[in-house]
Amino acid sequence: MLIKENSSILIPIDFSKQSLIAIEQSYNLAKFTKSKIILMHASPNSNVDHQKDLEEMVDKITNESGLKAEFLNIKGDIYELIDKTAEELECALIVIGLDTQVRFRSFMGVTNVGKFIKQAPCPIITIRSVDSRNNCRNILIHIDLSAESREKVGTAVQFAKYYNATIKIISVFSPSDEKYENELLPYLNQVKKFIKERGVNCTNKSITSNNVAEAIVNYANNNDCDIIIQMNKKDLSLGEMFVGDLSLKVVETSNIPVLSVNPMKRESISSSVH
């Protein structure tokens, strides 16, 4: 799934440090994709809270970046409204700053935050750190043998071409699962070849670990990665329902921005990778 161009980037705003950084980090992407920036603020009791602040933020975006910008001020729960708003506006991307206290899972299952990420109508970049990353030199993608895994390759190539970045592929498997490793390695080489044929620098690395999310985030930090691109998994196994979804674990624990893409019911640009 590629990020659409000549569209809009939706940025939910709660005035936290992370949400303000999300605005700044959207500038380059908005320029690359020729997109308008739409700020979205929601309050449980009013649709006029922070009206003046939002007007000033839109003016600041236009003055700093030259980009088109506007805002929405809506009454309701922000996490219940994001997906609906993004779909109505046919947004190309959601960029959201998440406070480190935001929870993704409750005792009974996924919270509103996790649901909006899993059900979003377009790709989402989540930012949990207060560190600004305006450039993107290294992109990390995790490849496994799931049907959804290959769909993020096209998006990674798109990002790499925008930023002239290198794609770093990793695979993570259990130290005791030699069969899985043998099945995965030929596929990794095919993905690497596919990326290089499109003029993008690429490396690949296999890691043994029983904690996949931790291994992904640690590798990203230790190898100067600026963004992690991942696919959300459409159907979870019974075990995943109890221990937690890998993609949400990565978003919850990563101090590096994460681009999450939901699988689409159509042929993906990366379907040429077999």
State pLDDT tens for residues 109-121: 557 788 888 889 9
Q: 8-127 and 138-253: same fold?
A: yes
Q: According to the model, what pLDDT value does residue 186 have?
A: 87
pLDDT value of residue 23:
94
> Which of 260, 270, 269, 257 lies closest to 28 in space, CA to CA?
257
d(CA 221, CA 226): 9
pTM: 0.88
- pLDDT (tens digit per residue) in 34-83: 999 999 999 988 888 899 999 999 999 999 999 999 999 999 998 899 99
Section 16-35 average pLDDT: 93
Q: Where are the domains of the chain?
A: 8-127, 138-253
189: tokens are 């080489």
Q: What are phi and psi of 97, to 5 degrees?
A: -90, 130
Q: What is the pLDDT of residue 84?
A: 94
The CATH number of domain 8-127, selected from 3.40.50.620, 3.30.565.10, 2.60.40.10, 3.30.505.10 = 3.40.50.620
pLDDT of residue 173: 87
Rounded to the nearest integer, the mean pLDDT of the chain is 86
Topology adopted by domain 138-253 = Rossmann fold (3.40.50)
pLDDT at 244: 46
pLDDT of residue 151: 87
* Predicted confidence (pLDDT) per residue in 220-260, tens digit: 999 999 999 998 865 544 344 333 488 889 998 999 999 99
What is the per-residue pLDDT across 8-19, written as a single tens digit (0 to 9) for each?
A: 999 999 988 999
